[in-house]
Amino acid sequence: MEITAVESVVRGDAHFVAVHTSAGLVGVGQSACWGYPDAVHAVVRTFRPHLLGADPDRIEHHWHHLYRMGPFRGSVLTAAVSAIDLALWDLLGKRLQVPVWQLLGGRVRDRIRLHLLLPGTGADALAAQAAAAVADGFTAVKFDPLPANYGDLSLARLVTETAATTAAVRDTVGPDVDLLIELHRKLTPLQAEVVVPAVGRLLPLMVEDPVQIDSVSSQAEVARRALGVPMANGERLHTIWEFKELLAQGGAQYVRPDLGLAGGISHARKIAALAESYHAAVVSHNCLGPLLTMASVQLDTAISNFVTQEYSPLDDTLADGPARPCVRREGGYLPVPTEPGLGVTLDLTDETPLDLTGRPLTRIPLRADGSVAYAV
């Protein structure tokens, strides 16, 4: 069997690949560099001369060849590698007629715990959404408690309002539901030093990404100074080498690789093993629909240090869309898939653009003085 075609398509802010073989099998994948899908698409085109005619089973070899073809690095490159890697694992599972988790060492759990991403802002909206999620069977929810105008607030007001919103959710769901606090890289290190302990008093499962991701050392330093609050980092990191630096500097108790960005299954399983050696857990980042959810679930099923899987309302909305999963959510859990490969059917004939993020790149928060709020 050899690779006969590498199909790459952009649908809005979504980018998919399909790897075709001489045996008629097709493996599917998706990248997660949602800000620049056309750039990822261009990189996949440069991969074709290497992949056409190649043996699709040589997954590890192809990963290193594609990643080292040029002396460059970054999220666009690793996103392209991720999409191809997922497609090759999908192919291997389909050829052997087993789900991918079976190829990763077998099943270590019977179902996959989910935490629901809450899209609301403000105490009232988030508390109502959290209550609805718990009523639907979720045992964990994730949300951003920062005020919409966080960039223009005094430090005292920023801390007070953020803590009050978190408390409203905690009061609503009680102590039996885990809270995952997403700060979306919006704070300066000095702001984080007071905001993180304030929300930490509400006993969240984790607090994620308080500061910008430009520096691994800065992220690690903020996490080290979090005074016992469990911290999560890594949704925008790309490689085991970045995760190694983060963990070695004491920067996370939860690592957050995205399988569409951090090298696919081949690389994310190495990140999971690296985290395990530091007694750190894996909560993979995931917000771009069913294909990447199903890829993440394959890893979740086979690793011991998994805690909970990120789940977006998009997964329910798009369950009958272009990427159709073989399993559906049951309350706050997903069944372990048993279909061969990733367990996803991808229809690339549907040319309807997808809007997976709901935000054009040009629309970012500005402070009252006109400066970019994300700049520090």
Q: How far apart are CA 91 and CA 249, in angstroms?
A: 38
Of 99, 128, 144, the position where a domain reaches its end is 99
In sequence order, which ranges of the chain are alpha helices (DSSP H)?
A: 37-51, 59-67, 75-96, 100-103, 123-135, 155-173, 189-200, 216-224, 240-248, 264-277, 290-302, 313-317
* Residue 352 in domain: no
Longest dimension (CA), the chain: 64
* Residue 166 in domain: yes
Residue 359 has a pLDDT of 82
Domain that holds residue 272: 101-342
> How many other CB atoms sit within 10 Å of the CB of residue 280?
22
Quote the number of domains for the chain.
Answer: 2
Catalytic annotation, residues: 184, 285
User: Does one domain contain both 87 and 43?
Assistant: yes
Q: How far apart are CA 63 and CA 190, in angstroms?
A: 39
User: Does one domain contain both 123 and 16?
Assistant: no
Contact 218, 211 (CB under 8 A): yes
Of 99, 125, 148, the position where a domain reaches its end is 99
* Residues forming beta bridges with residue 181, ordered by sequence position: 143, 207
User: Does one domain contain both 234 and 113?
Assistant: yes
User: Does one domain contain both 71 and 212?
Assistant: no
CA dihedral 199, 200, 202, 206 (to 10 degrees): 100
Q: How far apart are CA 122 and CA 115, in angstroms?
A: 19
**N- to C-terminal Cα distance for the chain?**
51
User: Does one domain contain both 165 and 29?
Assistant: no
* Residue 300 in domain: yes
* Residue 362 in domain: no
From residue 148, give the alpha-carbon distance in Å to each of 122, 125, 152, 226: 8, 13, 10, 23
Q: How far apart are CA 207 and CA 196, in angstroms?
A: 7
CATH number at residue 131: 3.20.20.120
User: Does one domain contain both 292 and 241?
Assistant: yes
User: Does one domain contain both 147 and 57?
Assistant: no
Please choose, from the candidates 234, 229, 230, the residue with its C-alpha nearest in 3D space to the C-alpha of residue 244.
234
* Residue 135 in domain: yes
Q: How far apart are CA 259 and CA 279, in angstroms?
A: 21
Please give the radius of gyration of the chain, using alpha carbons only, rounded to the nearest integer. 20
User: Does one domain contain both 136 and 284?
Assistant: yes
Contact 341, 27 (CB under 8 A): yes
Which 3 state secondary structure label does DSSP give 201? coil
CATH number at residue 51: 3.30.390.10
- Rounded to 5 degrees, what are φ and ψ at 197? -65, -30
* Dihedral sign from CA coordinates of 244, 249, 254, 256: negative
* Residue 55 in domain: yes
User: Does one domain contain both 50 and 181?
Assistant: no
Burial 65-76 (b: 16+ CB within 10 A, else e): ebbeeeeeeebb
Tens of pLDDT along the chain (376 residues) come to 999 999 999 999 999 999 999 999 999 999 999 999 999 999 999 999 999 999 999 999 999 999 999 999 999 999 999 999 999 999 999 999 999 999 999 999 999 999 999 999 999 999 999 999 999 999 999 999 999 999 999 999 999 999 999 999 999 999 999 999 999 999 999 999 999 999 999 999 999 999 999 999 999 999 998 878 999 999 999 999 999 999 999 988 999 999 999 999 999 999 999 999 999 999 999 999 999 999 999 999 999 999 999 999 999 999 999 999 999 999 999 999 999 999 999 999 988 899 998 888 888 888 999 999 886 7
Place of tokens 């192809």: 62
> How many other CB atoms sit within 10 Å of the CB of residue 27?
26
Residue 360 has a pLDDT of 84
Residue 226 has a pLDDT of 86
Of 51, 80, 99, the position where a domain reaches its end is 99
Q: How far apart are CA 116 and CA 49, in angstroms?
A: 41
User: Does one domain contain both 299 and 324?
Assistant: yes
* Residue 350 in domain: no
* Residue 290 in domain: yes
Extract the tokens encoding 254. 């939860």
User: Does one domain contain both 194 and 150?
Assistant: yes
Task: Determine if residue 174 is left, alpha or beta; phi over 0 gives left, psi from -120 to 50 gives alpha, anything else beta.
Answer: left
User: Does one domain contain both 122 and 56?
Assistant: no
